[in-house]
Every structure is written in C-alpha cells, then in structure tokens.
Structure 1
Amino acid sequence: MDNTYKLILVEDDASLGYLLSEYLGMKGFTVSWAKDAKDALLKVNANVFDLAVLDVMLPDMDGFELSQKIKSINPQLPFIFLTARSLKIDVLKGFSLGAVDYLKKPIDEEELVVRIHALLSRLSSTQPEEGQVSSYQIGDYTLDTDRFSLRYKDEEIKLTGKEFDLLSLLAINMNQLCTHKEILTTIWDKNDYFNKKSLNVFISHLRKHLGKDPRISIVNVSRRGFMLRVEERK
C-alpha cells in the first residue's frame, strides 16, 4: 500500500521543500524532509527509506556527491534527481550515478507523484517472490537475487538498483537478444533518448563488473539491443 512507502526528500529551498513534503504526505507517503546533505546523511543512517528524492543544487554538497555517499550507506536505495539544469551532460551524469529518474524544475507535483508510483511499483515487482529463482549463474559469477549482489569466487560486488535490474533481465534472457525497447520499458519505464544514453552507461558498468571471466560478453546488436553471451567452458 502507498502509505507504507517512506521517502526522504532533500531540498534546501524552504518553500518548495515544504510544498513537496506536504503534497506527498497528502498522497499517502511518509516523508522525511532534509534541508541539506548533512541532515540527509544523518536521516539515511538512522532510518530505512524506499526512495530518495534529491535536489542537485544543495548548499553544502551537490546532489551527485550526496547520492554516492547515500549509496555507501544503502546501496539499494533508489533515487530521483530534481534539477533546474537542463544540460544533457547533467542528466546523463545523474543516470550514470544510478538515478532511476530525474525531473526538471519547476516541479509539477502531480507528475512527481505519478513517477514515484510507477518507480516503486516496478521496483516492488522485481523483488524475488517465493518459488522464484534465487540466483543466476553467469559464467564464474553468481547473481544473487536474495542479496541483490554479484559474486565472483569469494568477492562480493556491490550493484546499484539499476545495475541489478538490468543484469537480472539480461540473465533471465541469457544468450538471447533483449531489444532496446524491452529493456527501456522494463527498467526505465520509458523508451526515449536520455534513457537510451543511460542504458549505454549501465552496460559499460556491467561489462567492467563481469570482466574477470573472458567467456562473458554483453554484445551490442546494432540498432536492436543487447545480449548477455556466455561461452561454454572448453
């Protein structure tokens, strides 16, 4: 149910922060509002949240740096960026750091709620249920769907929520093509230019994570999509 979802909102603008926290509260979310990065980190350390909504421009630390510090505390916490900047490089930087979405200011409160509902619904649907596969073997790697992690021998590799979702989809369809449309609509909820660029960034991340087993490759099928290919051991 929506009222079980706990959000942390990080916004230094007092008027906007108050407006968004009150509006989200009216829509059934439990909202903890932090006015700067220091306060946000204290709250993340002390509480469990389902989603973080981060302003990019903060007085003590930019939202990009804050997102990385939050991930070091809770690697699985998804986050949305709020930004007044519309440069492609800023948007792509947000996605490359693991953001699940972004909204440009001025914020449309109704759109924000719709985006949050869609994201939390999708993220909930990707949680492993009873009877589902608890792990996937990818060459010498194991993708653990209970711990949301990737293991290589005795090493555990931390994955962002987006990396985990993407690798899970590729693993389910191992040695088969996953089209751009299928990936983007499943993982990003939207097939557009920015998300396609973000997809390429995350594919690059996964290739690095899987780089210790030469039998594994993520193949770019020109203009069609990607395939997680694992060659048989010789």
Structure 2
Amino acid sequence: MEITHVLLAEDDFDFGSILKQYLEIHSFEVTWALDGKEAYTLFKKASESATQRFDICVFDVMMPKMDGFTLAEKVLEINPEIPFVFLTAKKMKEDKIQGLKLGADDYIVKPFEADILVLRLQNILKRVQKTTHTVKKETSYHIGTYLFDPINHQLHYNGTIQRITDKEAQLIKYLFSNKNELIKREDLLLHIWGNDDFFSGRSMDVFLSKLRKYFNQDPAITIESTRNVGLTFKISGT
C-alpha cells in the first residue's frame, strides 16, 4: 500500500505531537515542523527530491517566524497542485475568506477531534487521486476561443497561457461537460468538493470568481448564477 506523506506545521508542541501520532496510527507518514519557516525549508528540500515529496499539507494559521497563509503562498509557488488544509483557533470570517482565496481544500477550527482531520485528509486525497486518474485519459479541447489542456493544467488564449490548479481544472471540466444546462449547487459541490457544507460552498464561490476572470476575454462565455438554485456555464453558439 502506498504511503501518504504529510507535512504538518503546528507550533503547539502537545497538540502537534498528538496529531502526528494519530496520523501515523492511520498509516500516514508525517514530517512535523514547529514553525512556518522550518516547514517551508522542509517542503522546498522535499520538492527537489524524486522520492521524498509531500502529498498533502496541514498548516496551523498562527505560527512564529512565518504564518500559515504566507507559508501556503510560498508552497504553492513551488507546487501549485499540492492540496492543503488550514488549522486555526480563530473563527473570523476574514481568515476563512483568505484561506479560501489561497485555494485551501479545507479549514478546520480548533478544538477538533483528531479523527476529524484523518477523515478530511482521506476524503481530499481520494478526490485528488480520482481526478488525476481521470484527467490523464483526456486530451485538450476547445471552450469558445480558449483551448483547455487538463493534462498540463493550462488554459490557452490568443498565444497566452493561464496556469490553473488541479481543482480549477476539475471545475472547468465539470462545467464544460454540462454546458448550457442549469447545474444545481449541491450537485457541483458533491462532485468536486465531496460535500455541500458552508465551507465548501464559500470555497466554490471563490473558484467560480476566478474562472469568470479566466474566461472574460470571450464574451460568448458566461457563468450565470440562479439564486438559491445553481448556475449555468453558457457558451453562445454551441
């Protein structure tokens, strides 16, 4: 069985120790850093290795030397596809929005049971693995005047290339496969995020906002929302 390698950044020694032990009991390999700067150094070093790369990251938001948000930004510069989860004692709306804008796969508020983290990580990894397996079978195809390349995670337009994340690629694929049809919010959430809770809903809204910007060069392409129902990925002329 393939081992999943987790980078855990948590400055609370007792809590970090518990999480590390609990994850290892559930067959995760865990590298634990006590601050954001150390975590970044470990991630950067691992990215240069062919065998020691991380599969998923778990970052506490409030840490010394480098906070979790800054750490995530730097990690994403190295690997835009890495899934990550934020841990925080804060419940502030602004923090959640900031995490969503960075593309966080989940946002867990302390205190929480360790088995909750295990389940969340397992669900995220299942979605990532399923999508990777599916995407590899696909070829590039046209969306209006754009060329969507799901294999290399690129969106081409008029000689320019927009690099997109794995989740953005999933979302574009699902929207395009249901183009010009009303898609229920819960169906989209369950297909891409695996659940339809509040966090996932806000995360989806952030991603849809990004896609609207990506496709704004072609007036024939729009993402129209129907309040309390869903949305439609409209492509005129198709």
State TM-score, norm by structure 1: 0.91
Question: Distance between the aligned counterparts of 2:181 and 2:86, measured in 1?
Answer: 33
Q: Give SS of 1:212's match.
A: coil
Classify the secondary structure of the residue corresponding to 2:211: helix
Partner of 2:181: 176
Instruction: Using the TM superposition, give the Cα deviation of residue 113 of structure 1 relative to its aligned residue in structure 2, in angstroms.
Output: 0.5
Matches within 5 A, 1:122-201: 122-129=127-134, 132-201=137-206
Letter in 1 for 2:213: K
In the TM superposition, what is the alpha-carbon distance from 1:132 to its structure 2 partner? 3.0
* Offset at residue 124 of structure 1 (A): 0.9
User: Is 1:95 the equivalent of 2:100?
Assistant: yes
Instruction: Tell whether the 8 Å contact from 1:128 to 1:146 is kept in structure 2 after alignment.
Output: no
The whole-number CA distance in structure 2 between the counterparts of 1:43 and 1:57 is 18
Shift of 1:151: 2.1
User: Does residue 31 of structure 2 align to residue 4 of structure 1?
Assistant: no
1:16 positional shift: 1.5
Cα shift at 1:130 = 8.3
For residues 29-44 of structure 1, the aligned pairs below 5 Å read: 29-44=28-43
**Would the alpha carbon gap of residues 113 and 41 (structure 1) be closer, same or farther in structure 2, given more than 3 Å must change?**
same
Classify the secondary structure of the residue corresponding to 2:138: coil
Q: For 2:141 and 2:65, how far apart are their aligned partners in 1?
A: 42
1:98/1:161 contact within 8 Å kept: no
Residue 116 in 1 paired to residue 154 in 2?
no
Give the C-alpha shift of residue 228 in structure 1. Answer: 1.5
CA 1:130/1:196 → structure 2, altered by over 3 Å: closer, same or farther? closer
2:57–2:85 contact (8 Å) kept in structure 1: yes
Between the aligned residues of both structures, percent identity stands at 38
Alignment of 1:48-59 (within 5 A): 48-59=53-64
Equivalent residue in structure 1 for 2:229, among 224, 229, 233: 224
Gaps spanning 5+ residues in structure 1: where?
none
User: Which residue is equivalent to 1:208?
Assistant: 213
Letter in 2 for 1:27: H
Q: Does the 8 Å CA contact 1:100/1:162 hold for their aligned counterparts?
A: no
In 2, distance between residues paired with 1:151 and 1:50?
28
TM-score, L = length of structure 2: 0.90
Q: CA deviation at 1:180?
A: 0.2
Give SS of 2:129's match. Answer: helix
Q: Map of 1:70-85 to 2, 5 A cutoff?
A: 70-85=75-90
Measure the CA separation in 2 of the matches of 1:107 and 1:154.
48
Q: Deviations over 1:144-185 (max 9, x none)?
A: 121122222332212233322222211221222221001111
Alignment length, in residue pairs? 232
Which amino acid in structure 2 is aligned with residue 93 of structure 1? Q
Displacement of 1:74 after TM fit?
0.4
Q: In the TM superposition, what is the alpha-carbon distance from 1:131 to its structure 2 partner?
A: 7.9
Code of the residue aligned with 2:18 in structure 1: it is L
Residues 1:63 and 2:62 aligned together? no
Q: 2: CA distance between counterparts of 1:219 and 1:163?
A: 17
CA distance in 2 between partners of 1:149 and 1:134 (Å): 12
| Counterparts of 1:63 and 1:50, CA distance in 2 | 17
Are the aligned partners of 2:9 and 2:39 in contact in 1 as well (CA < 8 Å)?
yes
Q: CA deviation at 1:205?
A: 0.8
Question: Which runs of at least 4 in structure 1 moved beyond 4 Å after TM superposition?
Answer: none
Greater mean deviation of Cα atoms: 162-171 or 73-82? 162-171
Shifted more, 97-106 versus 214-223: the winner is 214-223
Report SS of the residue matched to 2:132. coil
CA distance in 2 between counterparts of 1:158 and 1:101 reads 22
- The Cα shift of 1:115 comes to 0.8
Aligned-pair distance for 1:66? 1.5
